[in-house]
Amino acid sequence: QLQLQESGSGLVKPSQTLSLTCAVSGGSISSGGFSWSWIRQPPGKGLEWIGHRHHSGRSSNNPSLKSRVTISVDRSKNKISLQLTSVTAADTAVYFCARVIYGDYDWYFDLWGRGTLVIVSS
Amino acid sequence: QSVLTQPPSTSGTPGQRVTISCSGSISNFGSYAVNWYQQFPGAAPKLLIYSDNQRLSGIPDRFSGSKSGTSASLAISGLQSEDEADYYCAAWDDSLSGPVFGGGTKVTVL
């Protein structure tokens, strides 16, 4: 059974870059033609889509995060990465990676990692 | 402020039926399906319902979803103590060119 596990820097200073990795185990990231997303949740608040990497290689990000987001997929290492530049306290959140299922009518996350807390503080 | 609107909380007694509403717009519910996620404290969200009303394998049939126009709802029949959690609706949104979520509804079992 496919499993996702996020890891990375738990504490990031303001203005620096947040870097996270999502390791996929139990199967190949390349099989099935899936897309992969990052979603975040500030403490005590709701969910926010950060962006996704389509299986074709095309990326799409939340406009609210502008050009600060880079999502990449390393198929040789079975990992998805997230980089968020110029972070502020508003970027403090639990960050989740998730697998995307989509079609002409639907778009949803069927598999989630457990999440990792990132705190932005000096 | 979320694109999809949900009540912040609802409650019920064991065995009761509770319904969670989710209000959207033409740019999301007008063309795309609603999905529902359940989240327990400290845990990741879990997909419950996709394509408006399809239960993910293993989800009890007391959970049901529906959508009409720009409104959707999740119903929990025969409420159980283990259903106490936060529930989020979500859908693709053409204005964002990405998925949007509701603010979440906390279900309390009295």
Per residue of chain B (110 residues), give pLDDT as tens.
889 999 999 999 999 999 999 999 999 999 999 999 999 999 999 999 999 999 999 999 999 999 999 999 999 999 999 999 999 999 999 999 999 999 999 999 99
Which pLDDT tens digit goes with each residue over A4-20? 999 999 999 999 999 99
CA angle (A13 as vertex; A10, A17 as ends), nearest 5:
80
For residue B100, give the nearest of B109, B91, B108 by alpha carbon.
B91
C-alpha span between A52 and A72 (Å, rounded): 9
Q: In this complex, is the C-beta atom of B99 within 8 Å of any C-beta atom belonging to chain A?
A: yes
Does A55 score more than 90 pLDDT? no
C-alpha span between B19 and B21 (Å, rounded): 6
Q: Which residues of chain A lie closer than 8 angstroms to B74, CB-CB?
A: none
Which pLDDT tens digit goes with each residue over A19-52? 999 999 999 888 888 899 999 999 999 999 999 9
Q: How far is A101 from chain B (nearest CA, A)?
A: 10
Q: In this complex, is the C-beta atom of A96 within 8 Å of any C-beta atom belonging to chain B?
A: yes
The two structure tokens encoding residue A62: 């939340």
Confidence of residue A56 (pLDDT cuts 50, 70, 90): confident
Q: Which residues of chain A lie closer than 8 angstroms to B35, CB-CB?
A: 106, 108-109
Q: How far is B105 from chain A (nearest CA, A)?
A: 10
CB spacing of A46 vs B32 below 8 angstroms: no
